[in-house]
Amino acid sequence: MKPSILSLSMLAGLVACQNSSSPLPTTIIPTPTTAIALSGSTVANPAAFTTALTLHVEDLWDLFVGPVSTATVNTTVSATPIPTHELIPPPSLFYSSFPSGQQIPLASKNESWKFPAGFWWGVASAAYQVEGAAKAEGRGPSIWDVLLHRVTGYTVANQTGDVADNQYYLYKQDIARIAALGVKTYSFSISWSRVFPFGNGPVNELALAHYDDVINTCIEFGVEPAVTLYHWDLPLNLQNTYGGWLGPQVVDDFVAYAKVVFGRYGNKVPRWFTVNEPIVFCNNYPLPDHYFTNTSIPKIQQPFWCGHYVLLAHAKAYHLAKSMGINGTVSFKTNGGYKIPLTNSSEDAVAVQRAWDFNEGWFANPTFLTGDYPKYLKDFVSGFLPEFTDEEKSMINGTSDVYAHDAYTSQFYMAPDSGIQACTSNTSHRLYPSCANTTYSYTTADGGWNVGPAADPLSPWLHKATDWMPLFLRYIQDTWHPSGGIAITEFGFAEPFEALKTLKADIQFDPIRSSYYREYMEAILMAISEGVNVVGTLAWSIVDNLEWNSGFQDKFGVQYVNLTTQERAYKASFFEYVNAFKLYGTDPVTPHFVSS
């Protein structure tokens, strides 16, 4: 494979100025002055010296990441039949004929509820969180390999994605396990740095052949593949070469990557997603100092430069897919919860709208409404981002076939204690620039209760707030008017303190997560019955996985994973999720099994 060339100056870990409001320079990689004064003379500045390095993929690992762990199993494992006893639902969804005597309150079916024909549902994952096989078959490192290997204190338990759930080799069994419960869709992401180890340049055929088989295995088991091109694992080489999502070069590199993937898998995939949760991965900028090539973009501006190039990259990839004859839907996945005003004050109403503008509206307004940013966000970014041209606005608008939303929870919003004006005029205010404060609790006058039960402490942002979902779905429909409907492309719950449990049987019974899935599906059914066009759902996640800097301590899986043996086991919540479609689905839930 052709090596990558980096200049040595790109390896320097320099600290960028945070408060400058100057426009973007010609290059975002700062160049020191070439000369300095010495005893009254001018001499060459050694900080400006450069050299060229020719790096192979292995060099990127050795220089920037270091040694990685490998799994005991490092060849693809064939699927085996799922034992019949594992497919038996838990009480109270199932009781055997003996012993008898259990009594539960009668819960009548709501005959006015129904998932429409063609409603697609399933489970989701992401490459870095489940695949493992970090260096296998030519994968290049991503920024997350550096973040979790090298950055002190970045992860709560010093855990990495080196092995994870080893799904790179166990995907056949994982697909067989969900097919045995009748799951219709498996949503996964492709690792950009597997296909392009340097992020651009040479293409890795071994990676493409691997994902060929993942997709074909889904189809073999009657499971529709849904593919995300980018789920946060940016190729490290792109970050170090030009700043990753902060550099304009990323647009063309992303589109070139999309072209290879679209061209390879095309219409085998009925649902495509370009990027996952740009609100989150753009707000991961600035990356930690001293571990990546420095950038001259002020830190407070970096998330919004990222968002600017994400919108352009997504829009170009969307139009590319259509020009290539892709018949499936093409969308991107945004995220966030319903924004509830804490009080009925005018200040809180403004804070709520600012929160929408700096979150969902950041990407949804350009793609569904105008091709441009919403008001409060635009007021902020107009001081440093270039205006989208009329041609760019036209290109961006209308580039999402479905409103795909990762919607886990809801929370209250209110004005800062000092007021919105005091915040927007003070760049050092902790809530600047959104200037919208949040809480998960009702006011003291309303009892001070949380909006719902809290998830695991490692997910302090997550509370069970399913009672707000019908209103949230209605808001999305009325605000952004998605012609292709709304899909909830991630939702799930981190069962509190599940990582502390040691008995598998205790882990499998996850009562809060089970009630979350049951009540969430009921909320969607309510919204559908009231005229909201919801077209699909994807539960997060297919298995317990690496939850980024929370490691494996924060459990979202509807299946348990023993990280030593890689054994999987269904949790009660998985059966609760499937049961919603057995009760209310128009289409039958049809299991597919491994041929014995």
Residues marked active site are found at 277, 490
Q: With contact defined as beta carbons under 8 Å apart, do 452 and 467 qualify?
A: yes
Helical packing angle, 205-220 and 249-265, nearest 10°: 50
In sign, the C-alpha dihedral spanning 200, 206, 212, 217 is: negative
What single-letter DSSP state applies at residue 404?
E
Cis before 433 (ω within 30): yes
Gyration radius from the chain CA atoms: 25
> What φ, ψ does residue 249 adopt, rounded to 5°?
-65, -25
> What φ, ψ does residue 388 adopt, rounded to 5°?
-65, 135
Q: How deeply is 26 buried, as exposed, middle or buried, from its count of CB atoms within 10 A (0-12, 13-18, 19+)? A: exposed
Tokens of 90: 């838990």
Q: Give the closest residue to 269 by CA, choosing from 229, 326, 225.
A: 225
> Which DSSP string do the residues of 135-200 spell out, in sequence order?
TGGGPPPBHHHHHHHHSTTSSTT---SSSTT-HHHHHHHHHHHHHTTT--EEEEE--HHHHSTTSS
| CA 288 to mean position of chain CA atoms | 20
CA distance 116 to 525: 10
Tokens of 115: 């998932």
Q: Give the closest residue to 585 by CA, choosing from 110, 113, 123.
A: 113
HSE on the CB side for 493, CA within 13 Å?
28
Phi and psi based region of residue 334 (left: phi greater than 0; alpha: psi -120 to 50; beta: remaining): beta
Q: With contact defined as beta carbons under 8 Å apart, do 239 and 193 qualify?
A: no
